[in-house]
């Protein structure tokens, strides 16, 4: 299996509506991925408001033999309160995806609160039973929390075969995400790592100018994003690096250096760490645009979009003001404004990055309104 995985989280859209996926464009992307030797597709119950699994069925399952791909799906523990909810959701996921079994199936997005729920409803026991039934080939979990909790989960559940972690060069030594510490713990427990957010929601594809110049001085023909994917893929215990590609150009770029992948050498590793320091100083709000916060906002605030507008304004300065004002005004027509936040905190409960979203929205409102 190639180390590049196709993350079905940021798929091409027809009209900007997150549920309205452009299936024809997705077919082209899936064709290119499989032709280049890719096999690993990753989806989840909430992606694209439930339509990612369906899109995978239409673009891949109906068009390729089952032996030509693997699919990962996840038990949405954040949407479960009772044990009896798990079986209907699992059955629905199989139907949405159009498969009889999942190659990989995770307990999704574990953190301190969701792990308590997972333990209470016996989520790990449920997926282990599905493995015994032949409905799942391999089990594990995806994780967004502290190294201490990761250690606890791996000790509590040695049956987990894999761990999916957020790893990128910006978060590698970050004091909140603590990616290196989590990676080291998974490695010590003998669990292969699947990497999510290697480009940090696109933030590492459009970096500070100094960092971009640094990358281009080393490899003029390689994209800025390629450094992020290659950094993650260079880690010895990484099995697959997921890239949430949104168009055929991104797919072709990833294939160009991952079809025949070569790990970063020592000099390139040092260069990436230098770039990370430059980028960290330029990002105002470290949002990955995963959109977990949006579904729970009672005011329908376009949180990731507003953060992107704000980040661009801070990064590029006054010359970005007219563009930022235009984008912000357009978003206001269909979404709540940043100042409409009622500080209920539901967004922060579901944020894998543990961002103080309410405080950031206040900053955005002050700047943009």
Between the two ends of the chain, the Cα-to-Cα distance in Å is 49
Pairing of β 40-42 and β 136-143: unpaired
pLDDT of residue 212: 95
Residue 221 domain-assigned (yes or no): yes
pLDDT of residue 1: 61
pLDDT of residue 175: 80
- Statement to judge: residues 255 and 348 lie in one domain: no
**Residues above pLDDT 70, as percent of the chain:** 99
For tokens 């299996």, the residue is 1
- Statement to judge: residues 83 and 179 lie in one domain: yes
- Statement to judge: residues 8 and 66 lie in one domain: yes
- Statement to judge: residues 202 and 69 lie in one domain: yes
- Statement to judge: residues 301 and 269 lie in one domain: no
Residue 231 domain-assigned (yes or no): yes
Give the span between the Cα atoms of 40 and 346, in whole angstroms: 32
Q: What integer is the mean pLDDT of 256-283?
A: 94
Give the span between the Cα atoms of 21 and 218, in whole angstroms: 37
Indicate if the pLDDT at residue 72 is higher than 90.
Answer: yes
Q: Which domain, by its residues, includes 310?
A: 294-368
Going along the chain, which residue ranges are E strands?
A: 4-7, 40-42, 70-75, 102-110, 136-143, 162-166, 193-196, 238-243
- Statement to judge: residues 229 and 123 lie in one domain: yes
Structure tokens that stand for 256 in this block: 């160009």
pLDDT level of residue 10 (50, 70, 90 thresholds): very high
CA separation, residue 339 to residues 87, 318, 361 (Å): 40, 22, 7
- Last-in-domain residue among 280, 306, 328: 280
Residue 285 domain-assigned (yes or no): no
Residue 300 domain-assigned (yes or no): yes
- Count helices and strands in the chain by DSSP H and E runs: 15, 8
Contact 143, 174 (CB under 8 A): no
Residue 287 domain-assigned (yes or no): no
3-state secondary structure 207-221: CCHHHHHHHHHHCCC
- Where are the alpha helices (H) located in 165-208, listed in sequence order? 179-188
Residue 288 domain-assigned (yes or no): no
The H or E element containing residue 23 is helix 23-35
pLDDT level of residue 59 (50, 70, 90 thresholds): very high
pLDDT of residue 314: 84
Question: How is residue 71 annotated by DSSP?
Answer: E
- Statement to judge: residues 80 and 137 lie in one domain: yes
Residue 316 domain-assigned (yes or no): yes
pLDDT of residue 106: 98
271 vs 282: which has the higher pLDDT: 271
Q: Which residues are within 8 A (CB) of 8 and not within 5 positions of it... i.e. 6 or more apart? A: 41, 42, 43, 47, 48, 52, 55, 56, 244
Question: What pLDDT, in 10s, does the model give residues 316-340?
Answer: 778 778 888 888 998 999 999 999 9
Q: What angle do CA 328, 223, 240 make, to 5 degrees?
A: 95
- Statement to judge: residues 146 and 107 lie in one domain: yes
What pTM did the predictor assign? 0.86
Q: What integer is the mean pLDDT of 42-70?
A: 97
Q: What is the CATH number of the domain that holds 120?
A: 3.20.20.100
Indicate if the pLDDT at residue 216 is higher than 80.
Answer: yes
Q: What integer is the mean pLDDT of 135-147?
A: 96
Give the span between the Cα atoms of 151 and 342, in whole angstroms: 36
Contact 200, 171 (CB under 8 A): yes
Residue among 191, 90, 32, 113 at smallest CA distance from 350? 113
What total number of domains does the chain contain? 2
Contact 361, 303 (CB under 8 A): yes
Number of neighbouring beta carbons within 10 Å of residue 147: 17
- Where are the alpha helices (H) located in 175-301, listed in sequence order? 179-188, 209-218, 224-233, 248-258, 266-280
Give the span between the Cα atoms of 71 and 102, in whole angstroms: 6
- Last-in-domain residue among 280, 302, 331: 280
- Last-in-domain residue among 217, 246, 280: 280
Q: Which residues are within 8 A (CB) of 43 and not within 5 positions of it... i.e. 6 or more apart? A: 8, 9, 52, 53, 56, 71, 72, 73, 97
- Where are the alpha helices (H) located in 234-356, listed in sequence order? 248-258, 266-280, 303-316, 321-332, 346-349
Q: Is 16 exposed, middle or buried (0-12, 13-18, 19+ CB in 10 A)?
A: exposed
Residue 14 domain-assigned (yes or no): yes
User: Got the DSSP string for 260-279?
Assistant: T-----HHHHHHHHHHHHHH
Give the span between the Cα atoms of 15 and 21, in whole angstroms: 9
Q: What integer is the mean pLDDT of 351-362?
A: 94
pLDDT of residue 38: 97
């Amino acid at each position: 299996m190639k180390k590049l995985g196709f993350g079905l989280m940021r798929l091409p859209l027809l009209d900007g509506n997150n549920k309205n996926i452009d299936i024809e464009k997705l077919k082209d992307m899936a064709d290119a991925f499989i032709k280049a030797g890719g096999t690993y597709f990753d989806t989840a119950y909430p992606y694209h408001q439930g339509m990612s699994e369906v899109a995978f069925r239409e673009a891949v399952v109906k068009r390729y033999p089952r032996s030509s791909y693997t699919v990962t799906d996840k038990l949405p523990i954040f949407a479960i309160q009772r044990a009896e909810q798990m079986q209907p959701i699992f059955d629905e996921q199989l139907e949405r995806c159009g498969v009889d079994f999942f190659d990989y199936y995770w307990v999704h997005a574990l953190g301190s609160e969701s792990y308590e729920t997972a333990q209470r409803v016996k989520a790990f026991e449920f997926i282990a039973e599905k493995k015994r039934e032949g409905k799942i080939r391999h089990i594990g979990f995806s994780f967004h929390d502290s190294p201490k909790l990761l250690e606890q989960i791996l000790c509590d559940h040695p049956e987990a075969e894999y761990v999916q972690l957020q790893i990128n060069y910006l978060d590698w030594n970050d004091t909140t995400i603590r990616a290196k510490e989590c990676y080291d713990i998974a490695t010590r427990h003998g669990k292969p790592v699947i990497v999510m957010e290697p480009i940090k929601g696109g933030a590492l594809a459009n970096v500070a100018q100094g960092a971009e110049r640094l990358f281009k001085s080393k490899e003029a023909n390689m994209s800025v994003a390629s450094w992020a994917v290659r950094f993650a893929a260079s880690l010895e215990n990484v099995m697959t690096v997921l890239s949430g590609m949104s168009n055929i150009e991104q797919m072709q770029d990833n294939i160009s250096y991952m079809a025949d992948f070569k790990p970063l050498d020592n000099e390139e590793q040092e260069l990436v760490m230098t770039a990370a320091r430059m980028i960290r100083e330029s990002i105002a709000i470290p949002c990955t645009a995963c959109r977990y916060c949006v579904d729970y906002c009672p005011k329908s605030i376009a949180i990731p979009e507003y953060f992107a507008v704000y980040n661009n304004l801070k990064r590029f300065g006054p010359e970005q003001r007219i563009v930022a004002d235009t984008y912000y005004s357009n978003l206001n027509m269909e979404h709540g404004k940043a100042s409409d936040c009622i500080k209920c905190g539901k967004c922060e409960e579901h944020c894998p990055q543990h961002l103080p979203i309410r405080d950031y929205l206040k900053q955005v409102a002050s700047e943009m309104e």
